[in-house]
Amino acid sequence: MQKKYSNILLASLALLSITARAQETIYPAKAQKGITVITHATVHVGNGTVLNDASVSFENGKITAVGNITPAAGATVIDATGKHVYPGFILPSSDLGLREIASGVRGSNDYFEIGENNANIRSIVAYNTDSKNLAVLRENGILLAGVAPQGELIEGSSSVVQLDAWNWEDATIKTDDGIHLNWPRSYSRAGWWAEPGGIEMNKNYDPQIKEIQAYFGNAFAYLDSKNAKKVITRLLLTVGSCDNIHFT
């Protein structure tokens, strides 16, 4: 009987080992050093221009030249004959790194906060650089992403990250780049199966709009108060300036 359980345990450990290898983490690449030149490629510049039999030179992680390039002495040369070179794509707004297994494992999700006013929420501190989704996106050319929280009314601040990092500090390109507001819908469809015209009006639309107006009315009234300028200055120094919020 003891031998039977031992065999079951060994089989379980073997299966666990196979599963672990299948979920291997792809670690961030080492910093690029020296000069590297990709030659004889079809280069898509990103503005609609396509260069045939062209080269791209980069040094210490930055592109230095594109076009007809003679590789410098000692440069690493990559022959890309028959291949295409594109700029990295940007995923502008997502819950990447905040949502792993959407409806399967609650502990892998940290993208939604309860409550109507979550202006203090910062998605960047919850960003998971070990997400299995990152390697898939990088393999498909997506190198930058905007990571945004979700919520009821004021959802919190988003940040821009690069997808090849050890932690959220390394990943950050732009911290707290904007505050997200979940604008109410005036109507919604009855369901995904609904025929065109199967629309339900949002009966709470007007009260929700008035709630937003009241919130910002109170905010601007506070700006006019005695200590508002001092508090706002301290807040911006702590959190960082948000590009899409303007105080008047």
pLDDT tens sequence across 157-185: 999 999 999 999 999 999 998 888 888 88
Kindly list the structural domains of the chain, giving each domain's residue range(s) and its CATH number in brackets, ordered by start: 35-86 (2.30.40.10), 88-182 (no CATH), 185-248 (no CATH)
pLDDT band at 244 (very low <50, low <70, confident <90, very high): very low
Q: Supply the pLDDT for residue 231.
A: 54
Q: Supply the pLDDT for residue 245.
A: 40
pLDDT at 11 > cutoff 50: no
Range 116-137 average pLDDT: 89
Rounded to 10 deg, the angle between the 205-223 and 228-239 helix axes is 110
> How far from 223 is each of 9, 72, 121, CA to CA, in Å?
66, 57, 21
**What would the pLDDT profile of 35-82 be if each residue is shown by its tens digit?**
999 999 999 988 889 999 999 998 988 899 999 988 888 899 999 999
Range 16-32 average pLDDT: 62
Provide the mean pLDDT of the chain: 78
pLDDT at 247 > cutoff 60: no
* Nearest-angstrom CA–CA distance, 103 and 86: 34
The answer to whether 37 and 64 are in contact (CB under 8 A) is no
* Nearest-angstrom CA–CA distance, 162 and 94: 13
Sign of CA dihedral 216, 188, 94, 122: positive
92 phi and psi, to 5 degrees? Answer: -70, -40
pLDDT at 147 > cutoff 80: yes
Q: Supply the pLDDT for residue 192.
A: 60
Q: Supply the pLDDT for residue 5.
A: 41
**What would the pLDDT profile of 131-140 be if each residue is shown by its tens digit?**
988 988 988 8
Q: Supply the pLDDT for residue 207.
A: 86
Other beta carbons within 10 angstroms of residue 89's beta carbon come to 13
Q: Supply the pLDDT for residue 160.
A: 95
205 Cβ partners below 8 Å, 6+ apart? 184, 185, 186
Q: Supply the pLDDT for residue 239.
A: 42
The answer to whether 129 and 164 are in contact (CB under 8 A) is no
The answer to whether 60 and 33 are in contact (CB under 8 A) is yes
